[in-house]
Amino acid sequence: MVTGIWPMAAVTIALSAVVWGGLVYVLAGRAPRCLWLILPGLPLSAIVNIAVKAPLAAAVADAGGVDPLVAAAAPLWYLAFLLMLAPVTEEAIKAAPLVAPQLRRFAESRRGALSAGMALGVGFGIGEAAYLAYAVSLSPVYADLPWYLFIGFLQERFVVTFIHGALTAIVVTGMLRGAAGLLAGYLAAVLLHALLNSGALLYQIGRAPLWGAQVTIFAALILLVAIILRLHRRAGEEEASAAPDVGE
């Protein structure tokens, strides 16, 4: 059955692909080949949600005797686990395609690492929008809603797709500094991801108003934009210093 979520999901996916794909193209120095890295990111959200996050959350809840459907009554340790579950697993799987040597070559310079990370994260975000739209379409609660009532889905997923790209760019650019740099970039992305999710979690358990969750996302978004601009500037500086001096 075609529910209202699908037309809005189609718009969300198309808009995200055009705008954030365009950003990848610009960050790559207008080299279109990096856009191919969006493709391996597309199935990763469904994979990590179905094969990792869902069974792990269920196993931990069962072992701790926690009802996962009653978040407000969950103990603090379980809420902390939920807060970190997505950041720890998603930031790892988004960068995982670069284990393949053929793809790793895309990230051998600052500009390459920045654009490769952004492309993988954008692919993940677009795939996540499709995965969530599918989950929404299965719920009878939303079956009769018209497409235009899902405008919040478009707004959230559009922004989140950029966020996924920016976080993965932080991880991948860290790889240029070796194992220590990769670990530092990964931990930075995990902490930023957790910060982004903290407001939403507090709102879901009734400990923060909706505007509090929105402020958290906005603050983290501004920080990520600043980080991407800085990484872009440093990539330009690296290219300028490597350019041959032709003299007079």
**What average pLDDT values come out for the chain (248 residues) when binned by 10 residues?**
84 98 96 94 98 96 85 87 97 97 94 97 98 94 91 96 98 96 97 93 86 86 96 93 63
Q: State both tokens at 185.
A: 């970039």
pTM for this entry? 0.94
Q: What pLDDT score does 203 carry?
A: 87
Report the pLDDT value the prediction gives residue 248, as an integer from 0 to 100.
Answer: 45
**Cα 217 to Cα 214: distance, rounded to the nearest angstrom:** 5
- Which ranges of the chain does DSSP label H, i.e. alpha helix? 5-27, 38-41, 44-48, 54-64, 76-95, 101-104, 110-137, 151-174, 178-204, 210-242
Domain boundaries, the chain: 5-238
Residue 73's Cβ-count burial label (10 Å; 0-12, 13-18, 19+) is: exposed
What is the rounded distance in angstroms from the CA atom of residue 5 to the CA atom of residue 29?
35
CA distance 211 to 151: 18
Q: What is the pLDDT of residue 68?
A: 78
